[in-house]
Chain A
Amino acid sequence: DSVKDSRRRSRATESSWPGRQGNQYTIRGVGGDEDDGTEIGEGGDEWMHGKTLIKPPDQLDLTEAELKEEFTRILTANNPHAPQNIVRYSFKERSYKPISSVDQLAVHFFLEGNLLHRDSDEARRQKAKQGLPDEKATVVTETEDEKLETPAAGGEEAGDVEEGGGEDGEQKLTNQFNFSERASQTLNNPLRERGCQTEPPPRASFSATANQWEIYDVYLEEMQKQEKNKEKAKAVPKKEDDKGKKKLTLSDDLTKVAKVAKIIERMVNQNTFDDIAQDFRYFEDASDEFREQEGTLLPLWKFQYDQAKRLSVTALCWNQSYKDLFAVGLGSYDFTKQGRGMLVFYSLKNSTYPEYNYPTTSGILCLDIHPDRPYLVAVGFYDGCVAVYNLKEERPEPVYKSSSKSGKHTDPVWQVRWQKDDMDNHQNFFSVSSDGRVVSWTLVKSELVFTDIIKLSLVGAVSEGPEACGTSFDFHKQINYLFLVGTEEGKIHKCSKAYSSQFLETYDAHNMAVDAVKWNQFHPKVFISCSSDWTVKIWDHTIRTPVFIFDLNAAVGDVAWSPYSSTVFAAVTADGKVHVFDLGINKYEAICQQPVVAKKKTKLTHIEFNPVYPIIIVGDDRGYVTSLKLSPNLRSKPKEKKGQELPRGPEVEIAKMEKLLSLLREPENSKA
């Protein structure tokens, strides 16, 4: 192809290879050129002819001589890329030294192959693994039947082969690589959680202190329990006890506050009447020093009960055991105005409200508190009944009451007195009444048994003539059987319990009814009597005429000896005055005459001295009870001589009285 050749030639000269301009190559790769050229050549033959030589602008301009210059090239085995000036630091010479030989190896291509040498260990192992199955597989591939067996057989025999192989030629090592692990998994039981929760125990916080007194309390309780057990072991258990206990537990809560409420009430009262309480305790009238002989009465508390208005105080009595407690009997002296009555107990600690009160159907005329058993009270009524109240009991009725069957009086009972317990340890008391009988009542279990002691009559001898009315009596303090009876006619009879038919003595005492007759607390022979005939008379029971007579200008309601002195006594009159006498100081006049009630119309009906404190209570016909404190002059004791200790005691009092009497006897004797 001439066209092609021409083209080649033109190409050759045109070839511009930057950097190798001067080299000449004889290009002989026709086939290659053809490939290149055919694409362009066939289409642009005519265009190629017209092409002129184009010089790239940056081609080196070389002269012809330089173009023809020949350069020789030598092929060496050196790696043209290998560095030729590697320098290594030599520690020996302490400088950089060029390395003499440099590695000239150039790796053009690298491929990891998986061919093993047949004699290497790895190859042997592989052979051993695959040796037999390979042989067998090639044999048995033709038959289908044995195909199934072969994998299994192959598997088994592989194992055998392994072992066999181990034995045959090379030794097979049994290690972890050659074992086959077998495992099987069992079914895991499903897990189930079960729980149980109990109710938390109820909690309560508890705190206590261990004090000495708490320990003491516990010991006391233990002791009491033990005692109870002992008692139960002895006594037959009663069902009533249980019922009683049940009643207590069912009762309202407030009942337990009763005791505390009482204390508080007293405290409140004490506050309100604080000045009175202080006076009662501490006040001593200093002005008594200036008054020679006279004394005064300081008014203290005033006791009144709302429901007792319009009733008059008919009886007063101090309690012997509880010195601040006194009983007031309320009724009426008026014959026309007879109605109800009341038995009221007051304590000095609470003047606004009574401690106990018992309403009665009939007016009370007299009362007496048992000296040994302070809860037993004997009461005599206007309608002739006598009754005994037990303060310990809750009910408002009396424990015992006499009735018409059981010998009650037919007339008002004017005086009752407790006696000592009789032989059978029964309590008994006496009563005197206007029907002329003096009756002894004995408390036998639940009954009142009466015994007529004596019958009073107008004329000296008993059981003759019309009966006299007894209005008062008193028992001798020391001589038990001796007692005095005052009558409405004004006579006083001295009687003995033993002799029921005769009086021991009769005194023509007064012109009117004898309101009160009282033995002296110390002197065994002296007694006093008072009457509505305005007089108070003092007697020696051996003498038939009075030793002293005092005229008080008004009807005398009551008279009382003082418990601290044998010569002091007090009387109350209908004009509201209290008269206090001390025979040791003044034989003729009272050392104190004092009105104690506001209104002059009020009559004082009764008076009583407190056994311990220097106070007296006075009852009037309006239902009030006034308490008064005796000033020091009224309770004077004989002056002690210096250096001499003053003898105290009843003997002194007796002696005092005796002295008085002896003084009187002489003038009397002289008179007589």
Chain B
Amino acid sequence: MCAEVEETLKRIQTHKGVIGTIVVNAEGIPIRTTLDNSTTVQYAGLLHQLTMKARSTVRDIDPQNDLTFLRIRSKKHEIMVAPDKEYMLIVIQNPSE
């Protein structure tokens, strides 16, 4: 089970256009990353807050609903966040490559 997940993460990382992946735990601390430390910490902290806010928004409107994923597309690249009960996965991809 664990090996499968590792493989999946590896595939994501080697996918076309993917710049970096970060795995963040429930407290906002990154536990796995392919980027450098300062960038990772920055991304993790900021996106954690944003994801919490987004999730809160979705659930406030309908408590039976829940956030599946969050995409932020910017000029340079796209940040994708998939939250979970305990973990959060952040992937930065350049979609136009």
Q: Is the CB of B5 within 8 A of A271?
A: no
Q: Is the CB of A272 within 8 A of B16?
A: yes
Q: With A213-B59, A258-B4, A272-B15 in contact, is A263–B69 under 8 Å at CB?
A: yes
Decide if A587 is an interface residue (CB 8 Å cutoff).
no
Query: Measured between alpha carbons, how far is A254 from B68 in the docked complex, in Å?
Result: 19
What's the nearest-Cβ distance from chain A to residue B73, in Å?
A: 9
Decide if B41 is an interface residue (CB 8 Å cutoff).
no
Decide if A353 is an interface residue (CB 8 Å cutoff).
yes
Decide if A274 is an interface residue (CB 8 Å cutoff).
yes
Decide if B87 is an interface residue (CB 8 Å cutoff).
yes
Chain B residues with CB under 8 A of A64: none
Decide if B28 is an interface residue (CB 8 Å cutoff).
no
Chain B residues with CB under 8 A of A261: 5, 8-9, 12, 82, 89
A-B contact pairs, 9 of them (CB 8 A): A211-B56, A256-B86, A257-B5, A258-B8, A260-B84, A263-B82, A268-B18, A272-B16, A274-B95
What's the nearest-Cβ distance from chain B to residue A509, in Å?
A: 46
Q: How many A-B residue pairs have CB under 8 A?
A: 102
What's the nearest-Cβ distance from chain A to residue B87, in Å?
A: 5
Chain A residue nearest to B73 in the complex (CB)? A271
Chain B residues with CB under 8 A of A263: 68-69, 82, 89
Decide if A78 is an interface residue (CB 8 Å cutoff).
no
What's the nearest-Cβ distance from chain B to residue A283, in Å?
A: 19
- Within B1-23, which residues are at the interface with A (CB < 8 Å)? 1-2, 4-6, 8-9, 11-12, 15-18, 21, 23
Decide if A87 is an interface residue (CB 8 Å cutoff).
no
- Within A244-258, which residues are at the interface with B (CB < 8 Å)? 251-258
Decide if A49 is an interface residue (CB 8 Å cutoff).
no
- Within A559-607, which residues are at the interface with B (CB < 8 Å)? none
What's the nearest-Cβ distance from chain B to residue A319, in Å?
A: 21
Chain B residues with CB under 8 A of A255: 1-2, 5
Name the residue among A255, A259, A261 with the largest chain B CB count within 10 angstroms: A261
Chain B residues with CB under 8 A of A256: 84-87
* Binary contact readout B40-83 vs A (1 if CB under 8 angstroms, 0 otherwise): 00000000000000001001100110001101000000101011
Query: Measured between alpha carbons, how far is A267 from B83 in the docked complex, in Å?
Result: 13
Q: With A258-B8, A261-B8, A261-B9 in contact, is A268–B84 under 8 Å at CB?
A: no
Query: Measured between alpha carbons, how far is A404 from B37 in the docked complex, in Å?
Result: 60
Chain A residue nearest to B94 in the complex (CB)? A271
Q: Is the CB of B1 within 8 A of A394?
A: yes
What's the nearest-Cβ distance from chain A to residue B61, in Å?
A: 9
Chain A interface category by residue count: 20 to 34
What's the nearest-Cβ distance from chain B to residue A358, in Å?
A: 14
Contact of A253 among B21, B31, B59, B69 (CB under 8 A): B31
Q: With A256-B86, A257-B23 in contact, is A268–B59 under 8 Å at CB?
A: no
Chain B residues with CB under 8 A of A274: 95
Query: Measured between alpha carbons, how far is A259 from B85 in the docked complex, in Å?
Result: 11
Chain A residue nearest to B13 in the complex (CB)? A268
Q: Is the CB of A258 within 8 A of B71?
A: no
Decide if A212 is an interface residue (CB 8 Å cutoff).
yes
What's the nearest-Cβ distance from chain B to residue A363, in Å?
A: 25
Chain B residues with CB under 8 A of A211: 56, 59-60
What's the nearest-Cβ distance from chain B to residue A223, in Å?
A: 13
Contact of A257 among B59, B87, B95 (CB under 8 A): B87
Contact of B2 among A217, A252, A352 (CB under 8 A): A252
Query: Measured between alpha carbons, how far is A264 from B78 in the docked complex, in Å?
Result: 12
Chain A residues with CB under 8 A of B89: 257, 260-261, 263-264
Chain B residues with CB under 8 A of A213: 56, 59-60, 63
Chain A residues with CB under 8 A of B21: 264
Chain B residues with CB under 8 A of A109: none
Name the residue among B12, B21, B23, B69 with the largest chain A CB count within 10 angstroms: B12
Q: Is the CB of A268 within 8 A of B63?
A: no
Q: Is the CB of A267 within 8 A of B69?
A: yes
Q: With A212-B59, A212-B63, A271-B17 in contact, is A352–B11 under 8 Å at CB?
A: yes
* Binary contact readout A329-343 vs B (1 if CB under 8 angstroms, 0 otherwise): 000000000000000
Q: With A255-B5, A257-B5 in contact, is A353–B71 under 8 Å at CB?
A: no
Query: Measured between alpha carbons, how far is A253 from B69 in the docked complex, in Å?
Result: 21
Q: Is the CB of A264 within 8 A of B12?
A: yes
Query: Measured between alpha carbons, how far is A256 from B6 in the docked complex, in Å?
Result: 11
Contact of B60 among A212, A269, A352 (CB under 8 A): A212
Contact of A271 among B8, B56, B78, B85 (CB under 8 A): B78
Decide if A262 is an interface residue (CB 8 Å cutoff).
yes
What's the nearest-Cβ distance from chain A to residue B33, in Å?
A: 13
Contact of A268 among B4, B23, B86, B93 (CB under 8 A): B93
Query: Measured between alpha carbons, how far is A268 from B83 in the docked complex, in Å?
Result: 15
* Binary contact readout A350-388 vs B (1 if CB under 8 angstroms, 0 otherwise): 001100000000000000000000000000000000000
Query: Measured between alpha carbons, how far is A261 from B5 in the docked complex, in Å?
Result: 7
- Within A392-410, which residues are at the interface with B (CB < 8 Å)? 394
